[in-house]
């Protein structure tokens, strides 16, 4: 603003000088035109005088006191207050807001990855035995090596399979299908299992071999007298299970071939029906009732079979023979102590025998943790295959320990002494390591 005022003042001074010169010439009556040299000289004189006059002018003194104070205040105000940002006022409100950076796109999941992948697990058991039997006095054995493959197909359908590849005899070792079934959940309380599975029976028969309390099953569960094989613990068919959350009881009913697992023969005239009722009597006590009734087909008897049964022997044709089982069990676990047992009655039709063989078996197991991971164990096991002949009675007393080394690994040792009539040398010491993976 100050520069503008100076320019205006300079122009006014120049004009007044110019007109004063021309006016003086006109007053003197000189009408003669000025040549170029004179004009140039006159302009130079005017320019010098304008420069001198403009340098002597004080704008502050020319302004009135009120105007001067206003000018000073305006200058101070302009210095303190920054110039307004006209660009922001001209911008729309949306433009003034910070625009967030676009979020990165999530990585796409592989198209071939299932929502519920197959779960794989398993365990192996390495067994060492020392026995009084001359032909089996000292031996190592891979008792079991099992692989489990399971998958949840949807909210209601599950697939489960288990394969056993145990056996350290290269000529006889082979993979065996232990379990293979589909489980369909009807609702939260009941389901159906279709395929090959564990049959409802006593608590020791239905548990996994990795969880056996003292390495070996009870005598009546697996024995040659009633032709109870290890494969008979499972069968091929359908099972119905019921257990309501919060209830103290559950029920399982199965209908199966009656031939056990991995058996092609299925010519029975009726199927095996098995059922089990579980009752939680209290927080620490669980009870079970179970029964099995069915048939198993057998070829016509041989002379050797008839002779084996002596007075009870008789020729039998090819037909289906009775297989009946019934019993109860209990399990009591509280703090460091365990007490559990089974009682079972058996009736079996046999080729070459005139009448069904009836017998009974029972065992009681007890344990106590003397250390956090060390449990001392004891078992009393009695089995009489033939109720009509007390000489068939066999008694086993066994003691040992379970050492839970860490999660998924344990060491078991059991010494068992067996008594029968007539007495034979068959006492044994078993040591077994179980590792889960």
Averaged over 30-36, what is the pLDDT?
A: 51
- pLDDT tens digits, 317-361: 998 899 999 999 999 999 999 999 999 999 999 999 999 999 999
Query: 16 phi and psi, to 5 degrees?
Result: -65, -40
Distances (CA, A) of 402 to 272, 381, 414, 432: 36, 19, 9, 10
- Within the chain, what is the greatest distance between any pair of CA atoms? 182
pLDDT at residue 181, rounded to an integer? 96
Q: Which helix (H) or strand (E) holds 237?
A: strand 234-243
pLDDT at residue 138 in the model = 81
pLDDT at 296: 87
Mind listing the pLDDT tens digit for each residue in 118-128? 999 999 999 99
Taking 50 as the threshold, does the pLDDT of residue 30 lie above it?
Answer: no
Q: Omega into 422 within 30° of 0, i.e. cis?
A: yes
Give residue 113's pLDDT. 61
Mean pLDDT (the chain) is: 81
- SS3 string, 15-63, reads HHHHHHHHHHHHHCCCCCCCCHHHHHHHHHHHHHHHHHHHHHCCHHHHC
Highest mean predicted confidence (pLDDT) among 74-83, 114-123, 124-133, 278-287: 278-287
Selecting from 2.30.110.10, 2.40.160.10, 3.40.50.20, 3.10.129.10, what CATH number does the domain 120-436 have?
2.40.160.10
The Cα angle at residue 367 between residues 361 and 372, in degrees rounded to 5: 155
Bridge partners (DSSP) listed for residue 414: 400, 430
Residues in the chain: 437
Q: If 0-12 CB within 10 Å is exposed, 13-18 middle and 19+ buried, where does residue 235 land?
A: buried
pLDDT at 95: 44
The candidate with the shortest Cα–Cα distance to 341, out of 420, 292, 285, 384, is 285
Query: CB 73: neighbour CB atoms within 10 A?
Result: 10
| Between 171 and 385, the higher pLDDT residue | 385
Q: Is the pLDDT of residue 73 over 80?
A: no
- Give 405-410's long-range contacts (Cβ < 8 A, gap of 24+): 405/373, 408/435, 408/436, 408/437, 409/433, 409/434, 409/435, 409/436, 410/434
The sign of the CA dihedral 250, 255, 261, 262 is negative
The Cα 294–Cα 274 span in angstroms is 8
- What confidence tier does 179 reach under pLDDT thresholds 50, 70, 90? very high
Write the DSSP string, 335-377.
Answer: TTEEEEEEEEEEEE--TTBSS-EEEEEEEEEEEEEEETTEEEE
Quick one: the chain helix, strand, coil %, rounded to 5? 25, 45, 35
- C-alpha span between 150 and 178 (Å, rounded): 13
- CB crowding 99-127: b at 16 or more within 10 Å, else e: eeeeeeeeeeeeeeeeeeeeeeebbbbbb
pTM greater than 0.85: no
pLDDT at position 425 is: 83
**Cα gap 294→264, rounded to integer Å:** 17
pLDDT at 274: 96
Predicted pLDDT of residue 36:
58
- Domain chopping of the chain, boundaries: 2-83, 120-436
């Amino acid at each position: 603003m100050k520069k503008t005022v100076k320019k205006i003042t300079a122009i006014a001074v120049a004009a007044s000088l110019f007109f004063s010169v021309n006016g003086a010439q006109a007053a003197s009556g000189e009408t003669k035109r000025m040549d170029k040299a004179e004009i140039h000289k006159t302009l130079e004189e005017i320019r010098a005088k304008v420069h001198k006059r403009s340098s002597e002018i004080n704008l502050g003194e020319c302004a009135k006191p009120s105007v001067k104070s206003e000018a000073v205040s305006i200058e101070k105000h302009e210095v303190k207050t920054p110039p307004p940002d006209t660009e922001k006022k001209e911008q729309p409100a949306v433009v003034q807001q910070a625009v967030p950076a676009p979020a990165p796109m999530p990585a796409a999941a592989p198209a071939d990855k299932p929502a519920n992948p197959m779960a794989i697990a398993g365990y192996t058991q390495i067994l060492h035995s020392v026995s009084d039997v001359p032909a089996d006095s000292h031996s190592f054995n891979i008792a079991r090596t099992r692989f489990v493959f399971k998958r949840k197909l949807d909210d209601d359908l599950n697939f489960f399979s288990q394969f056993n590849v145990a056996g350290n005899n290269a000529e006889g070792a082979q993979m065996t299908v232990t379990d293979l079934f589909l489980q369909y959940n009807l609702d939260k309380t009941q389901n159906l299992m279709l395929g090959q599975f564990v049959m409802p029976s006593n608590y020791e028969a239905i548990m996994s071999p990795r969880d056996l309390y003292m390495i070996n099953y009870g005598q009546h569960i697996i024995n040659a007298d009633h032709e109870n094989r290890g494969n008979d613990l499972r069968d091929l068919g359908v099972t119905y299970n019921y257990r309501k959350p919060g209830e103290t009881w559950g029920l399982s009913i199965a209908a199966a071939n009656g031939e056990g697992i991995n058996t092609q023969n299925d010519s029975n005239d009726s199927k095996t029906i098995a059922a089990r009722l579980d009752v939680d009597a209290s927080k620490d006590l669980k009870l079970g009732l179970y029964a099995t009734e069915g048939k198993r087909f057998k070829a016509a008897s041989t002379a050797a079979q008839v002779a084996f049964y002596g007075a009870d022997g008789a020729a039998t044709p090819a037909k289906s023979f009775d297989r009946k089982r019934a019993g109860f069990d209990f399990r009591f676990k509280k703090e460091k102590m365990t007490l559990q047992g089974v009682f079972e009655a058996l009736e079996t039709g046999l080729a070459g025998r005139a009448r069904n063989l009836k017998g009974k078996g029972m065992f009681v197991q007890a344990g106590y943790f003397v250390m956090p991971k060390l449990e001392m164990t004891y078992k009393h096991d009695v089995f009489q295959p033939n109720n009509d002949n007390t000489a068939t009675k066999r008694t086993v007393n066994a003691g040992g320990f379970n050492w839970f080394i860490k999660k998924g690994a344990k060491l078991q040792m059991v010494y068992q002494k067996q008594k029968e009539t007539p007495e034979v040398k068959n006492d044994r010491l078993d040591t077994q390591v179980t590792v889960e993976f």
